[in-house]
Amino acid sequence: DAGVTQSPTHLIKTRGQQVTLRCSPKSGHDTVSWYQQALGQGPQFIFQYYEEEERQRGNFPDRFSGHQFPNYSSELNVNALLLGDSALYLCASSWGDEQYFGPGTRLTVT
């Protein structure tokens, strides 16, 4: 059984550009959450998707948006990239209470 997968693994973008990150949940999971982890910090919640709807959102600006597809996979989009958006972006999937994380996408904004 494949766990949570994310693509790409690494990404380098320039300030002002837009980026799309992708996540495939663990088999049987219908809920996907996205987190941002700065170096040396714990992950910060961005938002959660369930049944193709954003169910809850953390304290992130509207530049951060997402989507969930009928097969439960998800995308995270970030517009107008800032240097401060450089971080590890983690996707987590769940069906019950336990959340399972993917390996993350390392985004570097130069």
Partner 1 sequence: KQEVTQIPAALSVPEGENLVLNCSFTDSAIYNLQWFRQDPGKGLTSLLLIQSSQREQTSGRLNASLDKSSGRSTLYIAASQPGDSATYLCAVVDTGRRALTFGSGTRLQVQP
Q: Say whether residue 11 binds partner 1 (CB under 8 A).
A: no
Residue type for 87, please? A
Comparison of 42 and 70: residue with beta carbon closer to partner 1: 42
Q: Say whether residue 102 binds partner 1 (CB under 8 A).
A: yes
Nearest to 31 by CA among 45, 10, 11, 18: 45
Over the window 58 to 77, marking each residue x when it contacts partner 1 by CB under 8 A and - when it does not, the resulting string is x-------------------
Candidates 14-22, 70-78, 79-87, 94-102: pick the segment binding partner 1 (CB under 8 A). 94-102
Q: Which residues pair with 92 in a beta bridge?
A: 33, 101
Is residue 54 within 8 Å of residue 33, measured between CB atoms? no
Is residue 25 within 8 Å of residue 72, measured between CB atoms? yes
Contacting partner 1 (CB under 8 A), which of 78, 92, 107, 109? 92
Q: Say whether residue 106 binds partner 1 (CB under 8 A).
A: yes
Residue type for 64, please? F
- Residue 37 phi/psi, 5-degree rounding, is -125, 110
Comparison of 4 and 76: residue with beta carbon closer to partner 1: 4
